[in-house]
Amino acid sequence: MSFLSWLGGGNDRQLAEEQYAGRESASDRASRKRRERYHAGGATRAARKGQSWDDERWRERQGGSR
């Protein structure tokens, strides 16, 4: 009977909770990955900002404009 139990329909949410208990959802995984990428890029962002600031100061000293 359990083999054909999916034919009768039922509570899909409950079935999913039982079958995938303890696993990360796809949306949670995507959110986590975005956070990890953002945090991993912190040093790169800081370096770019510092370089930009340094380039701007150098141009000001040279009498140039942006």
pLDDT the model gives residue 6:
65
Quick one: pLDDT band at residue 2, thresholds 50, 70, 90? low
Q: Which H or E run includes 49?
A: helix 42-62
Question: Would you say 66 and 56 are in contact if contact means Cβ atoms under 8 Å apart?
Answer: yes
Does the predicted model carry a pTM greater than 0.75?
no
Q: Higher model confidence: residue 12 or residue 66?
A: 12
pLDDT the model gives residue 65:
57
Tell me the C-alpha distance between 19 and 3, whole Å: 15
pLDDT in tens, 10-50: 788 888 788 888 899 899 999 999 988 877 777 788 888 88
Q: For 26-62, b where at least 16 C-beta lie within 10 A, e where not — what string?
A: eeeeeeeeeeeeeeeeeeeeeeeeeeeeeeeeeeeee
